[in-house]
Structure 1
Amino acid sequence: MTEAAFRELYRRLRDPPPEAGGHPRGALHRLTSERVVAAAAEVRCGLSVSLAAPVETRAGPDSPQPASHRMTAPTTRESVEHGLAFARDRFAMNVHGDTDSHLDALCHVMFDGELYGGVPAGTVTPDGAGALTLDLVSDGIVGRGVLLDVPRLRGVPWLEPGDQVTAEDLAAAETAQRTTVGPGDLLFVRLGHRLRRRTLGAWDVTRARAGLHPTAMTFPAERQVSVLGSDGNSDTAPSAVTGVPFPVHVLAVNAMGLHLLDYLDFEALAAACERQGRWHFLCVVAPLRLPAATGSPVNPIAVL
């Protein structure tokens, strides 16, 4: 895709700024209380399934800076044989890495000097973000989740790195799974990334990664979804657009105001949906409350 064609798509999908009728919370405004109540009523068997992968603490081709976890107590000098003692630990991570499940806030993507809704990119400083932060989701995201399984549609276990999902693929998966994606939904797209990684081992995803073609973003735009998630990071590698890295991030976060969920794990969920013959469910996303942050590790829970 040429940069000119991408920019035309960007202009077509871009929300207006708040002063021109846009929404300060982005696509989350579609998650009305009525839609949350309806999503809760979809629960049938009470099965809860995590959509997060275990946090990666070992370095690898896709995690050159893995999360660090160390015990701070008990120390070798402390006795735990008598009386009271506490085990304590410390954790740190690169939130926007290529292995760990995380949420992208609307302040994460800057394009042409602006954040979503025309907010100046200068509101993000070395001291933190001043607008569109995780505060927008401090009460969590709760709604109707829908999983579209593209490898299932194509009859393969996973998509190979570099493969691209189109809007037609998403519509065909929706039809094949006898489900529908509608306003306010949390749309999840399975690529099979996690299954491939577990089967064949980790690889450098900065060079080769399956994802959505930028034109596929017309599907969530037309369906008016509130959140987009993937078991990759939604973008292909190499980029599908000449001169624009991460075009899907630009369209989703910067243009459309969609919170992105990256590097989730859909294997257990896909199996549960297959067994029940239902590909929609109640979904609860609870990011950490990190002031002025651009993202958070997250453990979304699907309830079927």
Structure 2
Amino acid sequence: MTQPGYPFSALVGHDRLRLALLLCAVRPEIGGVLIRGEKGTAKSTAARALAAVLTEADPGAKLVELPIGATEDRVVGSLDLQKVLRDGEHAFSPGLLSRAHGGVLYVDEVNLLPDHLVDVLLDAAAMGRVHIERDGVSHSHESRFVLIGTMNPEEGELRPQLLDRFGLAVDVHASREVAVRSAVIRRRLDYEADPAGFAARYTAHDSDLAQKITAARARVNDVELSDRELNRIAALCAAFDVDGMRADLVVARTAVAHAAWRGADSVSEEDIRVAAELALPHRRRRDPFDDPGIDPGDLDAALSASADEGSLSASADEGSLSASADE
């Protein structure tokens, strides 16, 4: 009999990490979650626990783990060119990305993978498809999955270009609060003593999460992102001096996912705040000695300024439309 995994709902603390994982489960196009932290901070436990919740939401969902030594063919799949040329038959052998479709692709120590493989994973996570081309023969198939990468910064960092391509990033640390540490230890000891009994205590909680994910997925494409809120997102990203436009897209997708998660029909300031906290810190230009994350006061100020910018831009758009109508 297979031992049940540690339940997602039994995780102590790590509220931001749990929310980031759930939002990517609602909308995988966000582009995955990078979890950074020292050993023993529940990084892999959280990834595997989310996969179990998704399996309840969709029995076909799987947890696929990518080994460090995997080749590109093993990841994306391979084409049998000889069979294609000899028999004219399309011969494709699925890779790990095919197996991960609908589930979770978990990459431990993602910072130790070759850069070109990380690129392949991030492309597939963002596009929801895998495209293979070998000597003029091509194959494409759907591959929508939640990408979760974990890393210990002490063992090396990701290049900034790759870091930027992860949709969301969360830094995790062991709590210094005695009550929290005691709760973590107690639950872990209880789990080790009786895995099945411990898991049973959280079955209802994880089932509720699975149902909520299913409902949010059904709703997410109908959530309204108004021009006013879109302008606020653009102003917010500009205020934090991020490179390129990827941050704007990720914040928008994450805000919509958060609105769907809380059952709303449209994006609000709170949705944008949550999205910014998860999507912007790892994309900011910063000095080596800057504190991680975003200062709440800076975020409040930027949100306030972006509200004015959004109102002005929306008014300008309405004015342009009125002028066009008058003409």
> Does 1 or 2 have the higher relative contact order (CA < 8 Å, sep 6+)?
1
TM-score range, shorter chain: under 0.3
TM-score by length of 1: 0.27
Higher percent of residues as helix = 2
